[in-house]
Structure 1
Amino acid sequence: MRTIKFLLQKEFRQIFRNRAILMLILVMPVMQLIILPLAADYEIKNINLSVVDHDHSPYSRQLISKVTASGYFRLEGYHASLKAAYGFIEQDQADLVLEIPQGFERNLIREGEQPLFIAINAINGAKAGLGGAYLADIIRDYNQDIRVAQVEPTRFGTSPSIEVVTSNRFNPLLNYQFFMVPGILAILLTMVGGFLSALNIVKEKEVGTIEQINVTPIKKHHFILGKLIPFWILGNVVFTLGLLVSWIIYGIFPQGNILAMYGFVWVYLLAVLGFGLLISTYTDTQQQAMFIMFFFMMVFILMGGLFTSIDSMPGWAQVLSALNPVSYLVEVMRMIILKGSGWAAILPHLGAILGFAVVLNGWAIWNYRKIR
């Protein structure tokens, strides 16, 4: 313990001596947590719509007004022909084209049906799919309004109807920030812990102090613990600041057991710090460590369930996600903060992360080469 105490004093002095790095550790994650959830919006808005109205009837104008009043579409203009509207799509000035044929109102009243044509710019598949779905839903709602207006009111209802009542659990207002903020906090915690620990031992190699440490009687596991504990403490500070920002800025407060959340984060930090230290034992320069850590971070983020559901991934990707520690933290954060889960619900995830921590730190201790 006395040896570890001296090592911790050395590490903390190095950390607090460099005020710029300390500010980056504490200020940068807070600023990112404030900005990123405001930009990472799953809701598609401001969809540019071009209209080709060959009918120019009250019904067609009513349909266009209903579409633009929804708040999802922005009317780019009217066109005399479908070819002119296609030109707007080719110039990326329009995302959708709605063509209303001649005789739209007459056919609706006399024949009870009238097909419409919708052309969608599908370069951005997500925007195209959601935009087309929004427009189709608005047209169906408009069609239902017309049917109700044309049916004569009767004393008794002649056709049965099914009423569906929905209840949104855990996120009643469907606020995307409630879904994104816990995941972004998990990613920031991983980046801070992973990058700092990955650069730590490598910095000793570049400066040359690693050789002085190697000839001392310090044991390998003492050295690794001395490198791990300071950043474990800083990681908890960053996590606490992130929770405060989530509560103050977005009004998100954990619904579940806070102690369970911190307990999971404590074990998770051991795993991600061990991974960073493992990388630092294999690299000789900070540049090498940065590139390797960046590669793994991209994989962790994109396959961690933050933006894309793991259940929607191919089978092989789901297997790889089981080896991704970030996926466990993202899921646990959402379980505790939104669903109100406790120890019993997170125990399987905690066991997996504990396995990561033991393997990665054991590997880092074994791989650290020290002169005896």
Structure 2
Amino acid sequence: MIKFLLEKEFKQLLRNSFLPKLIIGLPIMVLLVFPWVANQEIKDINLSVVDNDYSPYSKRLIQKITSSGYFRLTATPFSNKEAMQGINSGDADIILEIQRDFERNLMTEGVAKVLISANAVNGTKAGLGSSYLSAILQDYAGELREESGVAPAGYAPVPTIHIATYNKFNLYLDYKVFMIPAFMVMLLTILTGFLPALNIVSEKESGTVEQINVTQVRKFTFIIAKLIPYWVIGLLILTICFLLAALIYGLSPVGNIVTIYAFAAIYILVVSGLGLVISNYSNTMQQAMFVMFFFVIILILMSGLFTPVESMPDWAQIATIVNPLKYFIQVMRAVYLKGSGVGELTTQLVALAGFAVCLNAWAVMSYKKRE
């Protein structure tokens, strides 16, 4: 019986001319655009400099700041009041005001004052921008001390420490390398969640589900026949994502790709099971779509995709325990970047397997079949 049900499901999918375009087009769009626009690196901060000294030292400082790659000099107003107008209009993110006698104070007293003002509408950008600027100023002060051979007042000369940095797993600190595996999980969630969610309810609207209800098909067999096509589609989408990541970004898993496919096979059952549960309780496609959208948004925002789970409030960290998306993102990043194996991902395996069993059992029990 399941053979005929599967044949029916695949025929329905193949008759949908939009589905192949969605399966191929959405991964291409997401992986081409999202890794670039969802970049949390802070660069090209608009800097306005009020130089009240106009000395070689102040000009050298400005040159050092602009050559760092983090700041873009957009204005050099003559007063702090004029510079503040740039912040009010949104043209400036940070103002650096160099006090009068900056060079003389550095040479005679070893101390000079500057003022940093930040546009804190975007708190993250303001905080990081001020930190970057402060670090550059400290580095500049260190350069001047080394050149003059004079230690700060009241302190003995401090030996110079040369630091060598090695970034394991992400050598060049490329944010895209960290985000692309997570975007693959997001794609898998959207497509293998929404499509099953609309499946049963669409048959309710068309009346074909009533024909199934009067047959001897068991509920378990019916749900399995619904799951398998989307399970195949999910693995196909994942394969397309792997190829795109390799071709566009040169990114391939450090670990065994079979490990990813094994976890993906379980995860697709989890998300498709959730979609079928929602479809069972929905009466219209619109209702199913909005309910699924509600859950997917929450799962994505609380998965650690954009912000670390550890940075969330305690109550949110507890809530993420029942978020399957979090576990699969951890798997993808661990295998892709660190080369982790199944032995290191036991917690994620048990969690995803538990979700798969519970949600699909719920899908079977919640399906109302006329006996």
C-alpha distance in structure 2 between counterparts of 1:129 and 1:279, whole Å: 42
Indicate the residue corresponding to 1:85 in structure 2: 83
Residue 111 (structure 2) pairs with residue 128 (structure 1): no
> After superposition, what is the alpha-carbon deviation per residue over 1:312-348, rounded to whole angstroms, capped at 9, x for unaligned?
1111101111111110011100000100001101121
Read off the aligned partner of 2:255 and give its amino acid letter. Answer: G
RMSD: 1.4
Helix, strand or coil at the partner of 2:54: coil
Query: What's the CA shift for 1:164?
Result: 3.3
Unpaired segments ≥5 residues, structure 1: none
| Aligned counterpart, 1:357 | 356
Normalised TM-score (structure 2): 0.96
Q: 1:117 aligns with which of 115, 118, 123?
A: 115
Give, in whole Å, the separation in 1 of the partners of 2:90 and 2:267: 45
**Per-residue deviation at 1:259?**
1.4
1:320 counterpart residue number: 319
Match of 1:94 in 2: 92
Give the conservation status (yes or no) of the 8 Å contact 1:15–1:22.
no
Distance 2:162 2:59 in 1: 30
The match for 1:254 is 253
Tell which deviates more after alignment, 126-135 or 304-313: 126-135
Q: Does residue 337 in structure 1 map to residue 333 in structure 2?
A: no
* Distance in 1 (alpha carbons) for counterparts of 2:226 and 2:157: 77
Deviation at 1:173, TM superposition (A): 1.2
Once residues 77 and 341 of structure 1 are traced to their aligned partners in structure 2, the CA distance between those partners, rounded to angstroms, is 49
Structure 1: which amino acid aligns with 2:65? V
Q: Secondary structure at the match of 1:265?
A: helix
Secondary structure of 1:49 counterpart:
strand
Deviates more, 1:124-133 or 1:107-116: 124-133
Q: Deviations over 1:139-163 (max 9, x none)?
A: 11111111111117xxxx9643444
Looking at structure 2, the residues matched to 158 and 329 of structure 1 have their Cα atoms a distance apart, in angstroms, of 52
Question: Per-residue CA shift, 1:284-331, capped at 9, x if unaligned?
Answer: 111111111111111111111111000111111011111111100111
Any conservation in 2 of the 1:214–1:371 contact (CA below 8 Å)?
yes
Distance 1:259 1:63 in 2: 53
Instruction: Write out aligned runs for 1:253-332 (5 A).
Output: 253-332=252-331
TM-score, normalised via structure 1 length: 0.96
The amino acid of 1:107's aligned partner reads: N
The residue correspondences of 1:140-289 to structure 2 (distance < 5 A) are 140-151=138-149, 159-289=158-288
Letter in 2 for 1:255: V
Instruction: List runs of 5+ in structure 2 lacking aligned partners.
Output: 151-155
Give the superposition deviation at 1:97: 0.4
What is the alpha-carbon distance in structure 2 between the residues aligned to residue 26 and residue 360 of structure 1? 28
Distance across 1 between alignment mates of 2:18 and 2:157: 75
SS in 2 for 1:114: coil
Check whether the contact 1:228–1:274 (CA below 8 A) recurs between aligned residues.
Answer: yes
Q: Given the alignment of the two structures, is residue 138 of structure 1 paired with residue 129 of structure 2, yes or no?
A: no
Aligned residues: 367
Cα separation, partners in 2 of 1:305 and 1:73, compared to 1, 3 Å: same
In 2: Cα distance, 1:42 partner to 1:217 partner: 55
* CA distance in 1: counterparts of 2:294 and 2:6, whole angstroms: 30
Q: How far off is 1:210 after superposition? A: 1.2
Q: Paired residue for 1:41?
A: 39
Structure 1 segments (4+ residues) deviating >2 Å: 157-166
Deviations 1:67-119 (A, max 9, x none): 11112111111111111111110110100000001110010000000121000
1:52 and 2:50 aligned: yes
CA distance in structure 2 between the aligned counterparts of 1:287 and 1:114, rounded to whole angstroms: 65
SS in 1 for 2:322: coil
Tell me if the contact between 1:257 and 1:343 (Cα under 8 Å) persists in the aligned partners. no
CA distance in 2, matches of 1:355, 1:60: 63
